[in-house]
Structure 1
Amino acid sequence: MTMMKIIYFLLLFIVPIKCIEWKKENHTYVVVPNKTIRPNQLYGFRIFDSKQKTLLYQLKVSSKDMDTAMLVDNPTKNMVGNLEGIWIDKAFNSTFSVYDNKLIKWTDGIIQSKWHLLSPYYTMEYNNEQFIAKWKGVSRQANVYTKNQNELLAEWRPPTLSLLWKYPKYNLKIYSNKLPDAIYFFLLLVMDHRYLDYDS
C-alpha cells in the first residue's frame, strides 16, 4: 500500500511536468495589423518581439490580379518569404516560398483550405511534409499541428483587450522548429482575412 501511494504521488508531479515541457514555447512574437486598414481591403502585419519593442519583420500585401504578400526582415530589409494566390475571396489557392535557414535555400509550399463538418481548416505542404491549421471553435485562437495532430507546433490568440477590436493583434507562440517562422506568419495572414470573410 505504501509503494502504491509513492507511485501515485510521483505521477502527480511527473504528468504536469511533461505537459509543461510540451507546451513550452521556443519563442513568441506579437503580430500587429497595419495602422491604416481600409474596409474590404488586404492588410499586412508588423511582427515584433515578445515585448512588442523591436520590429523584426514586416508583412507587406497587395492585390491586383492576385493577392500577394512579401515578408521583409526589418533589420536587413531583405525579403525572406513571399506568398501569392487568392485568399480574400471564397475561392482559395495560395503558394509560398520561404528562405529556410536550416536548408540554406528557398523552398516552396502550398496552403489549401478544406472543410470538415461546416468548419474550415487549412493544410500546408512543405518540404515533403503535411501540416494542419485550424481555428479553436469560434474564437480567434488557432493551432498548427503535424498532419496526424499529435504534436502542437504553434498557436496564436489575441490578448484579452484586443478581442474587442475587429483587427486584433496576436500573440504567436511557436513550440517547434519543424517549420520556418515565415510559414506561421503567412498562415496567420490568410486565416485572419478569411475569418473576417466568413464572419461578414
Structure 2
Amino acid sequence: MIRVLVAEDQSAVRAGLVLILRSAPDIEVVGEAEDGERAVELARTLRPDLILMDVQMPRLDGVAATRRIVAERLADVLVLTTFDLDEYVFGALRAGAAGFLLKNTEARDLLDAVRTVAGGEGIVAPAVTRRLIAAFAAAPAREAGADPAVLESLTRREREVLGRIGEGLSNAEIGARLDMAEGTVKTHVSRLLAKLELRSRVQAAVLARELGL
C-alpha cells in the first residue's frame, strides 16, 4: 500500500486529488495539508511514502516545505504546478523533489505517477521536460550555478548522456542520438544519478543546463 499525503491550499482541488487517489486499491491517503507548515508537520508524524505538494501555499511555500522534507528524509515529493509557475518548479527540483505533475493531469496519469515515484523513479514526461528546460534557458541569470567539478566522477559516456538529458530527450532518443541501446542508456542514467546524488532525471536536466552541457 502506498501511503500519500496531499498538500494543497485550495480545498476543491485538494478534495479532487484525494478522491482520485482513494479510487485506487493500492493507494491510501493518510493526511491532508492546507499549507506548507502543516505538510511538514504531518510528514513528520505520519511518515507517508509520498507527498503531492502544491508550490504556492500560505505560511510556507511548497519549495521550502519540500526542502525540509527531503533534508529530513521524511518522504518523496511530487510537485503540483501549472506552467506559469516554472520558477517554483525549478526551486522544488533543486530542493530534491522526485518530479512534478501538472494540475490538469488526467486521473490515470496521476495514479501512474504516484506508483512510479513510490517505486523509486522520478516522473516527468520528456515533452514536459523540454518545455521546462526551454523556460530555464530563457530565464534571467541566477546566482552562481553548479560547480563543474561535480562532473569529475562521471565517465565520458555518462557526461554525454547527461548533456542529452539536459536537452529533454527520452532514453530512446538518447540511444538514437548516441548510437546506444535503450537499455544501455538507462544504465548510464542510473549510474550518473547515483554519482551526482540526484533524485530524478529532471534534476539532472537542470544541472546539465547550469553547467552548459
TM class, shorter-length: under 0.3
Larger Rg belongs to: 1
- The structure in which a higher percent of residues are helix is 2
TM-score (ref. length: structure 1):
0.27
TM-score by length of 2: 0.26
